[in-house]
Amino acid sequence: MTKSLQRNSTTPTEFRAVDPTAAELQSHPEYFAGSIPPAIRPAYWSMREIRSRLQAMADDPQWDGNTRYLSLRSTDGPNNSTIPTMWVTIHLLKPGERIDMHRHTPGSMYYIISGSGYSTIDEYRIDWEDGDSFSCPSYSYHEHWNTGDRDVLMYTVQDAPTYAYNRMMAFQAGDSEAMESLHK
Ligand SMILES: [Fe+2]
């Protein structure tokens, strides 16, 4: 007797054959000719320009604490990365603003360029000020608050591209019951 299959709301129910153009066979020299990525040039991002761009975003109501950041992208790198395995952003949080609680598969390192406030990471609280750094492990719930009277500039490094390559980018908002894959 066959047990009936259990399906959830995201499980496929219709199937098709594999596309033959998705596969090929390579010889020894063919593999090594394409296995090493092209050269990536050093890149430079000016803090003067970053401050100017973030200040303009601070005056534009379309951005809030969650979205007001600039991503430092290498134009040579894959997947909008900063270097192929890492993603760097610089956030501006106005006094009283926060980044809402959330968690994701990549881990993060933070460096406070300027300003003061605190972060919660799971059940921990970290108070910080100019020059401090701290970490958030992969999959830990975190939120960041500017409790000072100056803008916070926060430099963040995440290993997001590594997760993206493995189709393991997932995000969960603090008010959501479900961890959402970003790979649809
Ligand atoms: Fe985060």
Secondary structure (DSSP) of 84-123: TTBEEEEEEE-TT-EEEEEEESS-EEEEEEE--EEEEETT
Q: Which burial class, exposed, middle or buried, applies to 104 when counting CB atoms under 10 A from its CB (0-12, 13-18, 19+)?
A: buried
CA of 94 to the centre of ligand 1 (A): 18
What percentage of the chain carries pLDDT values higher than 90? 89
pLDDT digits (tens, 9 = 90+) for 82-131: 999 999 999 999 999 999 999 999 999 999 999 999 999 999 999 999 99
CA of 100 to the centre of ligand 1 (A): 9
pLDDT of residue 4: 76
CA of 142 to the centre of ligand 1 (A): 6
Partners of residue 173 on adjacent β-strands = 102
9 or 31, greater pLDDT: 31
How confident is residue 2, by pLDDT bands cut at 50, 70 and 90?
A: low
Specify the pTM: 0.89
Domain locations in the chain? 68-172
CA of 26 to the centre of ligand 1 (A): 40
Given the structure tokens 């360029």, which residue do they identify?
113
Class of domain 68-172: mainly beta
Q: Which of 107, 109, 100 is nearest to 67 (CA)?
A: 100
pLDDT of residue 7: 82
Question: Angle at CA 164, nearest 5°, toward 162 and 168?
Answer: 100
CA of 16 to the centre of ligand 1 (A): 37
